Structure 1
Amino acid sequence: MTSTDVRTDGAPDPEGKGRDRRARTRGCLPFAGVCAAALVLLLLGTRIGLLPGFGDFFGERTTDRSGPAVLKAVQDMSSYEAASGNFQVVVDLEKDTKFVPDAIRGTRTLYVGAGTVGASVDLGQVAEDGVKVNEDRTEAELRLPHAVLGKPALDPDRSYAVSKQRGLLDRLGDFFSDNPGSEQAVNKMAAQHIGEAAEESGLTARAEKNTTAMLQGLLGSLGFEKVTVHYG
């Protein structure tokens, strides 16, 4: 006796086409499942890194192929850095889009920025009549420019992001970006706040006081008994 296949609609299928289709479908399902599982493991291992035991398998290796640093210019310095201040600021930077919920588009970053600001006196700006010495060379009077603040220098070892909140579109943008989660904006904001704090800290006055003490000690060792320093 010969068997006759029956299609799903109840009609006979003497050529067994339905059976072949079901067989091919059953054969593709395991392959598709293996591919999906491999893709999930790859994403978890490379992006999230939370699977125990897969750290070494998906571990990243950093190779430095940078060329040697090239000296472009040399500049002689005549400024005396007489004081330096260490500052820390907490930056809370939020960016929103009009008429769009924050869960869709928007970022908020809480960042701790730490850096230093130096205050110096430019001794090279002393005018010709800025130094007066008496005939006995026992007294000297100097007129120097006021101390100025340098640019804030952030310390990457002490600066860090506490938290980041991003909308869905921002997360997708970071996923496909070559530089995800750029901290350029918060770095710039932290440097700005540190510079403002340095202007109110009295750092320049301290630098002028230290410069006066340095010059009095230096000229005193050369035999000057009285050294007077003016600024401005």
Structure 2
Amino acid sequence: MAESPTPEHPTSEYPAVPDRPDAAEPTPEQPRPSGFARLLIFVGFVFALIVASCLGLRAMNVLPTFDNPFAEETTDRSQPVLLQSMRDLQRYVAADGTFQVIVDLQENRDNIPDFLINRRTLFVGSGTVETYVDFSGLSGDALKIDEEKKTIELTLPAPQQSTAALDMERSYVVAEERGLFNRIGDAFRDDPGKQQQVYQLAQQRITEAARASELDKRARENTQRMLESLFARLGYTTVTVSFASP
């Protein structure tokens, strides 16, 4: 009599089913990202979304623009211009001249080396001097008119020259030398009087040069031609202009 089959011994009628050769191999389980990594990905996504939104709103002029917080900014706190005086000019500017001077000013101390106490400034100054005739001081007998002969005799004061006016756009410091003690002193205090001294010296030199030039002669000639042309239009044939002694 045949033995009854047991679970450990399969029967011949129902043999064990072998594994299929084409069955897929089980894949190993992929590791999942940790909680911190997922948090970083979420924060990065939210940040990118906020930046994109801000750029879009800024392009549509919804949000204000944000400039460089460290950009240089100039603030003008100057006071309003105050009118100090006003006057009527009664003079004819007949000529002017532009001059240039090189000022070499040096200050030092006796018996002290230059490398300790020394200040030397090389300055190029450019200025203009005007030559004018003042008509405000004319007396009654300065003008003599002969209507029959159509002649005029005019006596004018001598031409005068103004003080040189420096053109700061064309004036500049070429070089400046300072001793050791001068550098230390300038580091703690600023002395604008030193620069003013150089400017005044340049004005003085230019004014003196203008007096030695031919500005007075040119001013006389220009004034005479101007008056001759003026009175000729009024019908006068002879115009004599003379100048008083300076």
Residue 220 of structure 1 is matched in structure 2 by 232
CA–CA distance in 1 between the matches of 2:176 and 2:227? 50
Which ranges in structure 2 are unaligned for 5 or more consecutive residues? 1-67
What is the CA-CA distance between 1:76 and the residue it aligns to?
A: 0.8
- Find the partner of 1:150 among 162, 168, 190: 162
Within 5 Å, give how 1:1-232 maps onto structure 2: 61-136=73-148, 138-179=150-191, 182-232=194-244
CA–CA distance in 2 between the matches of 1:224 and 1:103? 72
Q: Write the letter of the residue equivalent to 2:133.
A: V
CA–CA distance in 1 between the matches of 2:132 and 2:73? 43
Q: Output one character per residue of 1:117-170: Cα deviation in whole Å (capped at 9) or x when no partner.
A: 000000111111000000326111000000010010000000000000000111
What is the CA-CA distance between 1:205 and the residue it aligns to?
A: 1.4
Structure 1 or 2, whichever has the larger Rg, is 2
- Mark the CA change 1:180 to 1:204 in structure 2 (over 3 Å): closer, same or farther: closer
What is the CA-CA distance between 1:64 and the residue it aligns to?
A: 2.0
Q: Output one character per residue of 1:16-39: Cα deviation in whole Å (capped at 9) or x when no partner.
A: xxxxxxxxxxxxxxxxxxxxxxxx
RMSD between aligned residues: 2.1
CA–CA distance in 2 between the matches of 1:115 and 1:59? 38
CA–CA distance in 2 between the matches of 1:96 and 1:63? 40
CA–CA distance in 1 between the matches of 2:119 and 2:146? 66
What is the CA-CA distance between 1:183 and the residue it aligns to?
A: 1.5
Q: Output one character per residue of 1:53-89: Cα deviation in whole Å (capped at 9) or x when no partner.
A: xxx9998654321111111211111010100000000
Report the identity percentage: 44
In the superposition, the TM-score normalised over structure 1's length comes to: 0.72
CA–CA distance in 2 between the matches of 1:60 and 1:180? 27
User: Equivalent residue of 2:136, what SS?
Assistant: helix
Which ranges in structure 1 are unaligned for 5 or more consecutive residues? 1-55
Q: Write the letter of the residue equivalent to 1:76.
A: D
